[in-house]
Structure 1
Amino acid sequence: MTVFVLVGGVFTGSWVWAETARGLTAAGAGALPVALSGLDGPDGGTGPGGEPVDLETHIADVVAAIDAADGREVVLVGHDYGIHPVLGAADRRAERVARIVYLDAGMPRNGVPALAAVPDQSLRERLAEDGGGADVPPPGRDEWQRWGSTAGLSDAALDRLTALAAPQPLGTLLQPLRLTGAVAAVPTTGVLCTGSGTSIDMLQTLVGFGDPALQALTDPRVSFFELGTGHWPMLSRPAELADALLRAAAGEGRRLKPTGAAEPPPHLRPFLLDVPELPRERTGNVDLHLPPGAGGPRPAVVFVHGGPVPAEARPTPRDWPTLTGYARCAALGGVVGVTLDHRLHAVTDYERAAADVRAAVDLVRADARVDADRIALCFFSGGGPLSADWLAAPPEWLRCVAAVYPVLAPLPSWGLTGSRFAPARAVADAGELPLVLVRVGREMPEIAATVEEFLTAAEECGANVEVVDVPNGQHGFETLDHTEESREAVRRTLESVLAHLAAG
């Protein structure tokens, strides 16, 4: 019989697994929710013998649970922070563990503390400054979003989470995880909660970008499931979670395709329009695609790629077919098409990526061949949050902002709550600035929600938004959907942007 050893995340004790454990035992499996020292029982932030609790304390708790399984097949489940003691214990008992399940959890690395996975950057910095200070108090009822998406939680479940939450021993977040490498031999399954802003399709896209850190996810021993809920599925979808865990133990789940498979990754497939090459000049991280023929200074469209994109990705985004395709189309329309590489390599990089975009715009406007008073910006996908600065304070020379299948509010797992990179908030200050939004009908639900949030805010403030709908289009439709509907959407988008550049 399989026994599931269930390890909770920050602030939660073994109680959090009650309903999921019932679902597992009803199916004939065993369930051992682990009582983590300092989080279960009356001892507060101390462990056995009154010693301070750190990550090694919790690893020992999980090792003890594995040993208590009495020879049964063990599947370790780590939620959130819980994946750190799970990996530490599996590294010490690899021969006893049949599978590790990452439940809406990151990918911890040897030598890195759990603090690195805390989504809220300002909170991470404050906790790091505390050093060996007091335990971390649990959030208030309205503060759980700083630790993960509360999507799907009923009011009663949120009340229960708040009432039963315990202070997290600070040492569990600050002590680095130490691994020998033995755990690498254990098969794994990721259970992704899409309400947190992550999906299997997103992971496949990141793998396609060539991120070396993600190539291990294409191992056939690695599988994935999705749950349409937020960060606490054991409270919001316990029955569905139990079913996913049972199927994971059976080796089921989706697999990711490795790079170098039979066909190129989606972002490197051909552009949907046959556009001839035109003169291109490269200066630093910026490329200018120049319109044919002579003439005075021309307007320019700066195409801003999405991400995060690994720093090692080759070719870099300014050479991707979608970006060069749009830029060449713009040049054929008589304006300068601009592509660039910015440093959005992780969700923590929006600040420096924004600086890169601003520097590129300054470079373009300073070029004698460009009409500095007629500039448009077009943001793609995860580059969408970079549009917020321009919406919040649009300069006079900015004639249009376009956004193509964009992320228009920070996703819950990004830790950017309250940051300035929130177009859905910034649109209230856009005034009469023309906005062109390309919306695809087959969008990832987590991204589609941000688009609707933006459109609701835009309607409330009377923003000047034109929506170009692609009902059957996917995220990245320019290389995925070579249909007349998609081609017409690209033409209409460019025609609108160029018309705004020509107006006035």
Structure 2
Amino acid sequence: MTAFILVAGAHTGGWIWREVAARLRESGAQVYPATLTGMGEQGHAATPETDLETHVRDLLRLIDQVDAAEVVMVGHCYGMYPVLGTADLRPERIARIVYMDAGMPRDGDQALTLLPEQALRERLLNGTDAGDGEWRVQPPSVEEWHRWGSVEGLSPIELARLANHAVAQPVRTLTQPLRLSGAVLELPATGVLCTANGSSIAMVEGLVGLGDPRFQVLTDPRVSFFELDTGHWPMLSRADEVAEVLIRAAAGQGHRVAASVSEQPSHLRPFLMDVPERPRERVGRVDLHLPDALPEDGSRWPAVVFVHGGPVHPDVGPTPRDWPAFIGYGRYVAGMGAVGVTLDHRLHDLADFERAAEDLAEAVDLVRADPRVDENRVALWCFSAGGLLSADWFAAPPPWLRCVAATYPVLAPLPNWGRVDSRFRPADTVRSAGRLPIVLTRVELERAEIAATVQDFVAAAKECDADVEIIDVPLGRHGFETTDHTEEAVHAVERAVRTVVGHLKR
């Protein structure tokens, strides 16, 4: 017989699993919805000393009482921290760990990274209280729950239930680092990804394909995945499906992510066009792809700065400026008389957008200071998650910025990107862009969670009458320049480049 230990996320308790637990018991399983000290129905038991270790001890006591041949531990959001801490101490008792729309905490990580409010994260990180002398973090209001994750699929009644049953979270459960010996990493695992919250199997496979060493463990054959088409609280919005997925996960079922060792990663495949080589100069993190010669009239070259997405782990090689797509774009615009600028900004983690924005600003300053470049004719071209970096430039476009382009961009933080500052929301700042030309390239087969951010951006742009030209790529995919060598894809790149360079030469 299988026993499921269900551990809820921040501000909630065992009550949130009620419907899921009932369906699992109907299947013949033992089910233990855990309510941790100071959480849910045990909110009154919280003290200033309640910490992550307290919750680990809660689960150790529970697991030591369970009499079952197989124990599957399920963690949702914050619940993954005590689940992993417990499984690391009792690995011989655990048949599988299930990550229910949760991240992959590692040794030394703190759960405070889950908090959506940056100012509060910084206060807690600096050792101060949660505000007003509190040693607890108050739960969000009904209107604020969406900041903790997508509420897609929740009815107004279910959302009110979530808010009404929420309790304050003891601060030390968020600030005490998770301690792992590594034993838990040897256990079979299943990830349940909620697509409306910004996670998907396609996104996992993309991260693995980038060569990020943090995600290579996901190619282990003991690791499986399921998708649920709902938001961050599937136990409320899709209880039947959650129960079914947990039963299948316990049986070792689910999608496996291939290591793809014999196939070249998509981002390292050839550019869709054969572009002649151009002189290339490297200055720090910036590369300049140069035209053949300065104009005969004595004028200087305009420049296009290409901004890659991410996050890209610092150990990934080659780095983005050496990826075929960016080299191809850089050479292409150089052949049309503009400097193609590629750079490696330091978006290594979701918390790094501010640092990446600083790197981008420094690169732009470097390019504009080059005596061969016309400082009054510069364009920015953002790709994928680099699209969030366009927000600053829409908010206050300088007169020398002639155009902003975005190709298969992410134009708002995805619902589960809680650590991304609200400053990086192009759909909000486009209202300040005035008549700055915007060239947007969309792909038909975009991931749904990303396409939704583009739709919102286009709607906001229409409301403020922004100058947006949209180029669609039929049957194109995210990263189409190296995966979809079709006539339509070539035409889309040609049109986009002509349009951007055209704005520079006006």
Q: Which amino acid aligns with 1:470?
A: V
User: Which has the larger displacement, 247-256 or 121-130?
Assistant: 121-130
Equivalences for 1:345-424 in 2 at 5 Å? 345-415=348-418, 419-424=422-427
How many angstroms apart in 2 are the aligned matches of 1:230 and 1:123? Answer: 24
Using the TM superposition, name which of 136-145 and 409-418 deviates more: 409-418
For residue 122 of structure 1, what is the amino acid of its counterpart? A
State the distance in 1 between where 2:117 and 2:69 align. 39
Change (3 A) 1:26 1:186: same
Per the alignment, residue 66 of structure 1 pairs with: 63
Which residue is equivalent to 1:335?
338
Matched, 1:247 2:253: no
How is 1:178-189 mapped onto 2 (pairs within 5 angstroms)? 178-189=179-190
Q: CA deviation at 1:343?
A: 0.9
Query: Residue type matched to 1:248 in 2?
Result: A
User: 1:64-463 maps to which residues of 2 (within 5 A)?
Assistant: 64-128=61-125, 129-130=127-128, 133-258=134-259, 261-295=261-295, 296-415=299-418, 419-463=422-466
Counterpart Cα distance in 2 of 1:308 and 1:81: 22
Larger mean CA deviation between 178-187 and 445-454 belongs to 178-187
- Kindly state the Cα deviation for residue 482 of structure 1 after the two structures are TM-superposed: 0.9
Q: Which amino acid is 1:443 matched to? A: E
SS in 2 for 1:442: coil
Deviates more, 1:250-259 or 1:160-169: 250-259
Return the alpha-carbon distance in structure 2 between the equivalents of residues 217 and 354 of structure 1.
30
The alignment covers a number of residue pairs equal to 499
Q: What is the distance in 1 between the residues matched to 2:282 and 2:98?
A: 46
**Matched letter for residue 158 of structure 1:** L
Matched residue SS, 2:169: coil
- Counterpart CA distance in 2 for 1:54 and 1:294 is 64
CA distance in 2, matches of 1:421, 1:42: 38
Q: Deviations over 1:314-366 (max 9, x none)?
A: 11111111111111111111211111111111111111111111111111112
Q: Provide the rounded CA distance (Å) in 2 between the counterparts of 1:213 and 1:327.
A: 30
Structure-2 separation of matches of 1:489 and 1:312: 32
Give me the whole-angstrom Cα distance separating, in 2, the residues matched to 1:425 and 1:108: 31
Moved more, 426-435 or 367-376: 367-376
Question: What residue number does 1:55 align with?
Answer: 52
Asked if 2 retains the 8 angstrom alpha-carbon contact of 1:385 and 1:421, the reply is yes
Q: Secondary structure at the match of 2:475?
A: strand
Distance 1:126 1:230 in 2: 29
- Do the aligned residues in 1 keep the contact of 2:212 with 2:313 (CA within 8 Å)? yes
Deviation at 1:68, TM superposition (A): 2.9
Deviations 1:37-60 (CA, angstroms, capped at 9, x unpaired): 2224356143xxx89422222212
Deviation at 1:239? 1.3
For residue 82 of structure 1, report the CA deviation from its aligned partner: 0.7
Quote the residue 2:505 is aligned against. 502
User: So what's the TM-score if we normalise by structure 2?
Assistant: 0.95
Matched AA of 1:483: T
Question: Residue type of the partner of 1:212?
Answer: P
Q: CA deviation at 1:240?
A: 1.5
Change (3 A) 1:74 1:391: same
Aligned partners of 1:101 and 1:388: how far apart in 2?
Answer: 36
Question: After the TM superposition, which of the residue ranges 418-427 and 177-186 deviates more from structure 2?
Answer: 177-186
Gaps of 5+ in 1: none
Structure 1 distance, partners of 2:30, 2:245, is: 15
Q: Distance in 1 between matches of 2:212 and 2:235?
A: 31
Which one-letter code corresponds to 2:138 in the other structure?
P
| TM-score between the two structures when normalised by the length of structure 1 | 0.95
| Equivalent residues of 2:384, 2:409 under 8 A apart | yes
Distance in 1 of aligned mates of 2:208 and 2:495: 31
- Indicate conservation of the 8 Å contact 2:350/2:420, yes or no: no
| 1:51–1:422 Cα change, 3 Å | closer
Q: Which moved more, 1:176-185 or 1:493-502?
A: 176-185
Could you tell me whether the CA contact under 8 Å between 2:269 and 2:482 is conserved in 1?
A: yes
Q: Equivalent residue of 2:444, what SS?
A: strand
Checking the alignment, whether the CA contact within 8 Å between 2:394 and 2:429 is kept in structure 1 is: yes
**8 Å contact from structure 2 (residues 310, 384) kept in 1:** yes
Inter-partner Cα distance in structure 2 for 1:4 and 1:57: 21
Deviations 1:395-429 (A, max 9, x none): 11111110000011111222257622111011111
Letter in 2 for 1:292: D
**Separation in structure 2 between the aligned mates of residue 419 and residue 51 of structure 1, nearest angstrom:** 30
Residues in 2 aligned to 1:271 and 1:343: alpha-carbon distance in whole angstroms: 24
Give deviations 1:132-157, integer Å, cap 9, x for gaps.
Answer: 95222211111213322222211111
Q: Could you tell me whether the CA contact under 8 Å between 1:410 and 1:416 is conserved in 2?
A: no
* Amino acid corresponding to residue 228 of structure 1 in structure 2: D
Residue 250 of structure 1 and its aligned partner are, at CA, apart by: 1.3
After superposition, give the CA deviation of every residue in 1:79-106 in whole Å (9 maximum; x if it has no partner).
Answer: 1111111112212221111000011112
Runs of at least 5 residues in structure 2 that lack an aligned partner in the other structure: none
SS where residue 410 of structure 1 aligns? coil
CA contact (8 A) 1:347 1:414 kept: yes
Secondary structure, aligned partner of 1:342? coil
Closer, same or farther in 2 for the Cα pair 1:117/1:415, shift >3 Å? closer
- Could you tell me which residue of structure 2 aligns to residue 6 of structure 1? 6
RMSD (Å), alpha carbons: 1.8
The code of the aligned residue for 1:110 comes to: D
- What's the CA shift string for 1:249-270, capped at 9, x where partnerless? 11112222336x1112111111
Percentage of identical aligned residues: 59
> Is the contact made by 1:224 and 1:254 (CA closer than 8 Å) also made in structure 2?
yes
State whether residues 211 and 313 of structure 1, in contact with CA within 8 Å, keep that contact through their aligned partners in structure 2: yes
Aligned residue for 1:248, secondary structure, equals: helix
